[in-house]
């Protein structure tokens, strides 16, 4: 199943919405520290409602720790700096969709390490900066799930 990886997320309601997304799709959620909030933040709980108990959530001190625990996963960075559309890649069930912090995106060194063929973008109007993190995660996750024939989803 697909994984959603949030690198140093900053805004609690976005993470709460993504928890709800993961609970409803079966995607696992991986949070890379430091977080810009406490996991019990009431704004995050409100956005995630009572879905946290239905989502598979794991916390990591850094991205190398995630990669060490998931060496089989192909890491796909979702970034405005990507040259490949998120809809132009063939998803695999062990893919990890990596999203950066809301205010600054993924660091350049991570994008360089991942490489341009694994940096995906969401098409937008030329003047636009970015989409909301939870909206972007939903778009990309559902495209991957669609390609995988919505495994285990009804």
Average pLDDT over residues 39-54: 66
Q: Is residue 53 part of a domain?
A: yes
Which pLDDT score is estimated for 48? 54
Which pLDDT score is estimated for 81? 94
Q: Is residue 154 part of a domain?
A: no
Adjacent-strand bridge partners of 57:
29
Tell me the pLDDT band of 41, cut-offs 50, 70 and 90.
low
CATH of the domain at 57: 3.40.1280.10
For the ranges 3-7, 30-34, 47-51, 58-62, the lowest mean pLDDT is seen at 47-51
Average pLDDT, the chain: 93
Distance of alpha carbon 135 from alpha carbon 152, whole angstroms:
22
How many folded domains does the chain comprise? 1
Q: Is residue 152 part of a domain?
A: no
Q: Which domain holds residue 75?
A: 3-147
* b/e burial code for range 117-129 (CB count within 10 A of at least 16 → b): ebbbbbeeeeeee
Which pLDDT score is estimated for 46? 61
Q: Is residue 153 part of a domain?
A: no
Please write the tens of the pLDDT for every residue from 71-122. Answer: 999 999 999 999 999 999 999 999 999 999 999 999 999 999 999 999 999 9
pTM of the prediction?
Answer: 0.94
More confident residue, 42 or 87: 87
Q: Is residue 48 part of a domain?
A: yes
Please write the tens of the pLDDT for every residue from 131-152. Answer: 999 999 999 999 999 999 999 9
pLDDT at 47 over 90: no
């Amino acid at each position: 199943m697909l994984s959603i990886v949030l690198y140093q997320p900053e805004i609690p309601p976005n993470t709460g919405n993504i928890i709800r997304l993961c609970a409803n799709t079966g995607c696992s959620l991986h949070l890379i520290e430091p977080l810009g909030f406490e996991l019990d933040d009431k704004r995050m709980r409100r956005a995630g409602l009572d879905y946290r108990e239905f989502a598979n959530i794991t916390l990591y001190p850094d991205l190398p720790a995630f990669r060490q625990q998931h060496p089989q996963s192909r890491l796909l960075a979702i970034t405005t700096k990507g040259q490949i559309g998120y809809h132009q890649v063939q998803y695999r069930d062990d893919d990890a969709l990596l999203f950066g912090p809301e205010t600054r995106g993924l660091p350049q060194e991570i994008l360089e390490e991942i490489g341009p063929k694994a940096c995906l973008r969401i098409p937008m109007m030329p003047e636009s900066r970015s989409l909301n993190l939870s909206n972007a995660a939903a778009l990309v996750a559902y495209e991957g799930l669609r390609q995988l024939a919505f495994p285990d989803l009804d």
